[in-house]
Amino acid sequence: MSAETFEFEGKFKAEAERNLAKYPHERRQSAILALLFLAQEQRAAKAGAGKGGRWVDETAMRAIADMLGMPYIRVMEVATFFTQINLAPVGDHHIQLCGTTPCMLRGAESLRAAVEKHLGIHEGETTEDGRFTLSEVECLGACCNAPMVQINDDYYEDLTEESLLAIIDKLAKGEKPVPGSQIGRRCSEPEGGPHVLKDGPSPQGPADPKGGPHGNMPAGEPEKLY
């Protein structure tokens, strides 16, 4: 059910105004995605844990349309295009599983089956306690580190069934799992570290930060990064 009215409040109002200020008045519609995201974050903050608050309804979209001076249908078009904007309630932890080709070839289907069994839900459903929702989405842009999921605002990459379920269990306990590669990969370099450019004036070093700034320079020579 939609709320009767919607307006940004507190820190969310301040952030909405900051995003609007980025653009000339006649270009203020460019802030639409940021405002949609803020609207669902405000709803989640007000609803509290387990209440499925992270979504936008028609009232919020119409309020945003008025703020931006654009037809409601244009706001709806954007909201229905981007998967990070939810049009129905989702759990506190929204597991967005990439199912596009690289992730599928690297085991996304087995990850989905493992999560469904572990949480007792199917894709597109939310657990009874309102803590977790599982959704399959299109490419999230981390193909080199497939398979991967996005949970709320964080990416978890290079997953196995075991590592993904461990992440979910930590979230269920109120802990904060470390995002990024779950096998220690740095950025999108090859598994096991670099295989080329290991010597010369700017060799690629180990992923261990003790090896130097950004892992590609001898320690103590940051000026060489520039």
Residues whose CB falls within 8 Å of the CB of residue 180, separated by 6 or more in sequence, listed in order: 155, 156, 157
CATH class assigned to 10-81:
mainly alpha
pLDDT at 206: 53
> Does pLDDT of 213 surpass 70?
no
Angle between helices 58-68 and 32-47 (to 10 degrees): 140
Distance, CA of 157 to CA of 195 (rounded, Å): 21
Length of the chain: 226
Same fold, 10-81 and 93-181: no
Task: List, as residue ranges, the binding site for [2Fe-2S] cluster.
Answer: 98, 103, 139, 143
What's the mean pLDDT when you consider all of the chain? 87
First to last CA, the chain: 55
Q: What is the DSSP string of 1-43?
A: ---S-----HHHHHHHHHHHTTS-GGGGGGGHHHHHHHHHHHH
Sign of CA dihedral 51, 57, 59, 61: positive
Q: Which residue has the higher pLDDT, 220 or 25?
A: 25
CATH number at 93-181: 3.40.30.10
Backbone angles phi, psi at 22, to 5 degrees: -70, -20
Q: What is the DSSP string of 145-182?
A: G-S-EEETTEEEES--HHHHHHHHHHHHTT-----EES
Distance, CA of 141 to CA of 102 (rounded, Å): 10
> Does pLDDT of 101 surpass 60?
yes
pLDDT digits (tens, 9 = 90+) for 22-68: 999 999 999 999 999 999 999 988 887 667 678 999 999 999 999 99
pLDDT at 214: 40
Backbone angles phi, psi at 136, to 5 degrees: -95, 130
Task: List, as residue ranges, the binding site.
Answer: 98, 103, 139, 143
User: How do the domains of the chain map onto residue ranges?
Assistant: 10-81, 93-181
pLDDT digits (tens, 9 = 90+) for 117-137: 999 999 999 999 999 999 999
- Number of Cβ atoms within 10 Å of the Cβ of 226: 4
Q: How many CA atoms lie within 13 A of 192 on its CB side?
A: 2
Distance, CA of 114 to CA of 130 (rounded, Å): 19
